[in-house]
Structure 1
Amino acid sequence: MTKKNQTKTNGGQLLFFLIMGIVGAACGMLIIRSIRGGVSADIPLKQKIVKIVALFILFYIAYILHVILHEAGHLVFGLLSGYKFCAFRIFNFMWIRNKEGIRFKRMSIAGTGGQCLMSPPGLVDGKMPVLLYNFGGAIMNLIIAAIAGGLVFVCPAGSVIRAFMLFLVILGVVLALLNGLPLRMGAANNDGRNAMDLMKDPEACRVFWIQMKINELAARGIRVKDMPQEWFTVPGKEAMQNGIIAPMAVMVSGRLMDQQRFAEADELMKRLLEEENGIVGVYRGLLGNDRIYVELIGENRPEALEALKTPEQLRIMRAMKKYLSILRTEYAYALLAEKDGENAKKILQLFEKAARTYPYPGEVEAERELIAIAQNKVVVEEVDDTEDKDVSSVSEDAPVSGK
């Protein structure tokens, strides 16, 4: 990551913690006032505890409601901008449009509470509508906050219902600010930053369009190796500093993996992880995960595997432990590095369980092929070991000539 990007990230994180501190203080004061208000000072302790628990539950419900409505905002304003529905995910619950219609699936992505994926309209002079789609979530949060703010005045003072409405107001404003203000926070750009980058950078807009089309085709079961070749090009060095454009290089490496061009994929992934660019967070973890797999089915060197298993890499893999590519690599590691068939069998069962509800059938097919490659390597190694033992046995038993 460049120093410029790092400065943006630090600024975004500072604002995030500042806003969250204000929210925490506001919600704390609200809870205290809700407990004291509307009841006598000598309220029984048990009743106070019940009310505190109820308020915390209502706060969590208000948060979930805003997450759902935030993604619904992207959907509504995306449809108004000419986009078509592709997928809607809240936590690990996902509704996706495939060739059979809209189906329920399960998928979780570390660091995200929800996601609305849509099929974009065609590019016109290299542009497409991006403002309403990207700002739609923040707009919806503000709408809900405004409605809840109006209802506050008709709710009894000190009641949990009034507290719930105030939670909706506070969280709505906060989420609108955190997503609407153009910031880079932690691993990725927020919606506001994406909108601004897309408006001023035609290349970012083109890549964003390609990424959305890849998601659309993947939902229909098409593998990345069968998608248009011209979509998959590694951006230039300067473009790779952009947080929207940089993930395209990760998709190129993913296509090479799907084509089973492992040496080329590993060379590209190694370069992407070593150079300064806009690839961060989950994307870096997926690159590292694939590099471990390539090493396992290749030379399988213990020292190389240890070097690839950095603390950060292991942390991301733990956070994405139900993701198919992570399970595939864990399976190959148990089978080829640890020589632990029982553990490998357990991991394979977890893989099959996750595959049953995974939203992208083409990825399931591709991952099963990679698992088969690891299994075939075990068979080859066992055959080689048997042949070596047979040759050794013949050599020891053979008569010594010349005596």
Structure 2
Amino acid sequence: MKTILRTLSPIIFAVALVESYLRLTGTAIGALLSQYELYVFFILLLFLRYSWYVHLILHEGGHYLFGKLTGYQLLSFQVKKFVYNEKNKKITYIQSGPTVIAGQCLMSPPPKGSYAEKPFKLYLLGGVMMNGLTGIILYGCAYLLAPERGIILVIFSLVPLWMALSNSWPYGQNDGAIVSQASRSAEAKELLFYQLEIAALFEEGATFTELPDRYFLPLAEGRYLKTNLADFLYMAAYLKALGVLDFEGADRLLQSFAANRPVTRSAYWPIFVVESLFCDAVFGRKQAAKEKYAKIQKNLVLKQQWNTSKRVEAAYAFFVEVDMSRAKSLLKQAKQNLDGLAMPAEKEIEKRLTEWLQGYFVA
């Protein structure tokens, strides 16, 4: 039911917005349709489809603008698989790995002041405000034109207005949800800044194993587990454990994640499922690994994550299927994919684990 509502919501929103324009201008839809040839509507739909990229850039630009106004410093700017890094002033194309996010403007918070004093709302809601302002301008200007021209502006206002609405309404881990969660308590706000500081450390070249233990104390002490902001810490702690080949510790973290958080509603759910299969394979829990594998093959999102992790595929082939030839082939692909990873910290983990798996094939 929720999936159906998510699918229908933008359609209902678009129909309502167009209908309101027609009513306010006293225009009949039939009269407008008769003004254009059929091919014009196909062209409009094509432009509307690709206008999403323009508004995605504007959305991330809004984060940047309002972040700068409140003392934040740019770390990286991502649109789909293109990432601009402020430190080296280079644009990188992510060749491998899933595009988990459509875009991201990653900034480090102001260095001075306590967590309680640091601003965050304008930075996080900057994209929403930019999309909302763009949509309102387009929709408002439609009333300055004749209806047969104004309806075109109304149509092009749909994407930014929907982006503003869907990102501001707290759901999952969108901008509105993060602001809502971080505003609930000083502790939750602290988790938000932990995440931003860890991201800044990564941009400076730090690896997962070099992350200070203080960031993960809330997990060890069982604090702050009622917020989605804890999910990032779980996955970062998991990768830190893998970085030193502490598979028992990594496995315990995933089990704790599943016990304390609604994992299926987390943005990290696909990663969690695939990595938990990796742990099942390593520890010889073959039946559990096979059940997860069957689940992954039936789910498009999980399968996408699976297909981008050749290291996990290789572990499954070796420990569960006992297919040495396939495992060797997958490990070779895993090594080839290392250069396509955007984060050096992620590359370091994958390289370490790939070399560990290869150790089983050394005569």
After TM superposition, the score normalised by the length of structure 1 is 0.76
Deviation at 1:54, TM superposition (A): 0.7
The reply to whether residue 222 of structure 1 matches residue 206 of structure 2 is yes
* 2:122 matched residue in structure 1: 132
**3-state SS, counterpart of residue 205 of structure 1:** helix
Amino acid at match of 2:167: N
Give unmatched runs, 5+ long, in structure 1.
1-9, 384-403
Q: Flag the 1:38–1:241 CA change in 2: closer, same or farther, 3 A.
A: closer
After TM superposition, the score normalised by the length of structure 2 is 0.83
Confirm or deny: 8 A CA contact 1:247 1:279 kept in the other structure.
Answer: no
* 1:393 matched residue in structure 2: none
Identity of aligned residues (%): 21
Confirm or deny: 8 A CA contact 1:19 1:174 kept in the other structure.
Answer: no
* 1:91 matched residue in structure 2: 80
State how 1:248-397 maps to structure 2 within 5 Å.
Answer: 248-277=233-262, 280-299=265-284, 301-309=285-293, 311=295, 315=299, 316-321=301-306, 323=308, 326-340=309-323, 343-344=326-327, 347-348=330-331, 350-352=333-335, 354-379=337-362
Deviation at 1:266, TM superposition (A): 0.7
**3-state SS, counterpart of residue 361 of structure 2:** helix
Give the Cα–Cα distance (whole angstroms) in 1 for the partners of residues 30 and 321 of structure 2.
Answer: 56
Q: Deviations over 1:327-377 (max 9, x none)?
A: 221122234433445544554455455432322113212211101111112
Give unmatched runs, 5+ long, in structure 2.
23-27
Quick check: which has more Rg, 1 or 2? 1
**Aligned mate of 2:57, from 44, 68, 84:** 68
**3-state SS, counterpart of residue 217 of structure 2:** coil
Give the Cα–Cα distance (whole angstroms) in 1 for the partners of residues 325 and 144 of structure 2.
Answer: 62
* 1:54 matched residue in structure 2: 43
Q: Flag the 1:223–1:279 CA change in 2: closer, same or farther, 3 A.
A: farther
Deviation at 1:223, TM superposition (A): 0.6
Amino acid at match of 1:168: F
**Aligned mate of 1:101, from 66, 84, 89:** 89
**3-state SS, counterpart of residue 86 of structure 2:** strand
Q: Flag the 1:312–1:298 CA change in 2: closer, same or farther, 3 A.
A: closer
Root mean square deviation, CA, Å: 3.4
**3-state SS, counterpart of residue 312 of structure 2:** helix
Amino acid at match of 2:193: W
* 2:32 matched residue in structure 1: 37
Q: Deviations over 1:236-279 (max 9, x none)?
A: 54621111133312221221111211111112212322344467
Amino acid at match of 2:126: G
Q: Flag the 1:178–1:314 CA change in 2: closer, same or farther, 3 A.
A: same
Deviation at 1:132, TM superposition (A): 0.4
Give the Cα–Cα distance (whole angstroms) in 2 for the partners of residues 242 and 123 of structure 1.
Answer: 26
**3-state SS, counterpart of residue 245 of structure 1:** helix
Q: Flag the 1:250–1:206 CA change in 2: closer, same or farther, 3 A.
A: same
Q: Flag the 1:19–1:285 CA change in 2: closer, same or farther, 3 A.
A: closer
Amino acid at match of 2:241: L
Confirm or deny: 8 A CA contact 2:77 2:85 kept in the other structure.
Answer: yes
> Number of paired residues?
354
The reply to whether residue 172 of structure 1 matches residue 160 of structure 2 is yes
Confirm or deny: 8 A CA contact 1:68 1:90 kept in the other structure.
Answer: yes
Give the Cα–Cα distance (whole angstroms) in 2 for the partners of residues 351 and 77 of structure 1.
Answer: 39
Confirm or deny: 8 A CA contact 2:173 2:267 kept in the other structure.
Answer: no
**3-state SS, counterpart of residue 92 of structure 2:** strand
Deviates more, 1:198-207 or 1:338-347: 338-347
Q: Flag the 1:196–1:298 CA change in 2: closer, same or farther, 3 A.
A: closer
Q: Flag the 1:85–1:280 CA change in 2: closer, same or farther, 3 A.
A: same
* 1:22 matched residue in structure 2: 12
Q: Flag the 1:354–1:54 CA change in 2: closer, same or farther, 3 A.
A: farther
* 2:25 matched residue in structure 1: none
Give the Cα–Cα distance (whole angstroms) in 2 for the partners of residues 124 and 15 of structure 1.
Answer: 43
* 1:5 matched residue in structure 2: none
Deviates more, 1:81-90 or 1:334-343: 334-343
